[in-house]
Amino acid sequence: MIKCYRQLKIIVCLSASLTAKAQTGFSGKFLTEVGEYYNQGKDTIFYGKTMSWLADSMLIREISTSVIRTEKNTTRMSVRVDRVIFIDYRTKALFEYSGFSDTARLMGSHFLYDTFRLTTGYPFDIKDEDAKYSPRLAQQLDDTLIDNIKYHRYLEKFDSLNVSLNNVFYTDCESSPAITMLPKHAMKFGCPVLMATSSTDVELRRPYMFTKRTLERDYLTPEEQKIFEAWRKYAEEHPVKPSLPKKKPKSKKRKKPSDK
């Protein structure tokens, strides 16, 4: 038995962390990992990763789909890339493609600052990527060392679905601001946010969500540059206009019965 569902936004407060903000003059490839764990991280409920590429004021990002397989009363979840989106911040346009290739099939186009639905029907709002979970009063925790990188940590509490979640954000001031998660949080903390956890328990003794972003390299290959150039050219030749708000139908007034 196999079930698939859209993985654009992954559970409550960490959903907004999957969008990068383009930075003029910066190019590179980065990896975003998302997982759900329990038993203090020793066991995995779910793990997935997506790739993204930045070039000047443009962003390309994989959009993944979660696949749930149930065999012999054992359920396993995996991720596969469903499509790729191209965002041009200069023309304020978002295009959906079938894959990461300059010959990929175009699947849809949208004006960037509209609240719209991708061609699959899944809602996607990039304008307010972390406005829903805007920074609130944060408590600074002790610094931690992970893979020889020193992170500053900040704790924020968030009430969701009748439970209180403890969201911990990990910042690294040595990283490029172009790959930060949650730009508004990064601005508040003064450094790029590269990791985040969410759990009902601060010490992660209960199931928790984990998100991590890593810069793979700070340059693009000739093939990647070719894709950016092809998609940039298409975006300029096919500008996307903002959709007009739908007008509400006028309600017809009932005629009063004439007095006899």
Residue 126's domain is classified under what CATH number?
2.50.20
Q: Taking residues 236-260, report their average pLDDT.
A: 69
Q: What is the pLDDT of residue 127?
A: 45
Classify each residue of 245-260 as buried b or exposed e, where b means 16 or more C-beta atoms within 10 Å of its C-beta: eeeeeeeeeeeeeeee
Taking only the tens place, the pLDDT of each residue in 110-153 is 887 665 556 555 445 444 444 445 667 889 999 999 888 899 99
Q: Which of 54, 148, 62 is nearest to 104 (CA)?
A: 62
Task: Indicate if the pLDDT at residue 13 is higher than 60.
Answer: no
**Distance between terminal CA atoms of the chain?**
69
Q: Among 5-19, 42-56, 84-98, 201-215, name the one with the lowest average pLDDT.
A: 5-19
Q: Is residue 244 part of a domain?
A: no
Q: Is residue 242 part of a domain?
A: no
Task: Indicate if the pLDDT at residue 21 is higher than 60.
Answer: no
Taking only the tens place, the pLDDT of each residue in 155-204 is 998 776 677 888 899 999 988 887 888 878 888 899 999 988 888 887 77
Q: What is the pLDDT of residue 150?
A: 93
Cα dihedral: 144, 133, 203, 142 (round 10): 30
CB count in 10 Å sphere of residue 12: 16
Q: What is the pLDDT of residue 132?
A: 47
Q: Is residue 136 part of a domain?
A: yes
Please give the residue that has the higher pLDDT: either 36 or 85.
Answer: 85
Taking only the tens place, the pLDDT of each residue in 200-216 is 887 777 788 888 888 88
Q: Is residue 134 part of a domain?
A: yes
Give residue for tokens 């203090």. 40
Q: Is residue 250 part of a domain?
A: no
Alpha-carbon Rg of the chain, whole angstroms?
A: 21
Q: Is residue 259 part of a domain?
A: no
Give the domain extent around 143. 2-237
Taking only the tens place, the pLDDT of each residue in 66-110 is 777 777 777 666 677 889 999 888 888 899 999 999 999 999 998
Q: Into how many domains does the chain fold?
A: 1
Q: Give this prediction's pTM.
A: 0.70
* CB-count burial class (<10 Å; 0-12, 13-18, 19+) for 89: middle
For residue 140 the two structure tokens come to 């600074």
Q: Is residue 252 part of a domain?
A: no
Instruction: Assign 87 to helix, strand or coil.
Output: strand
Q: Taking residues 33-56, report their average pLDDT.
A: 82
Taking only the tens place, the pLDDT of each residue in 222-240 is 999 999 999 999 999 999 8
Q: Is residue 248 part of a domain?
A: no
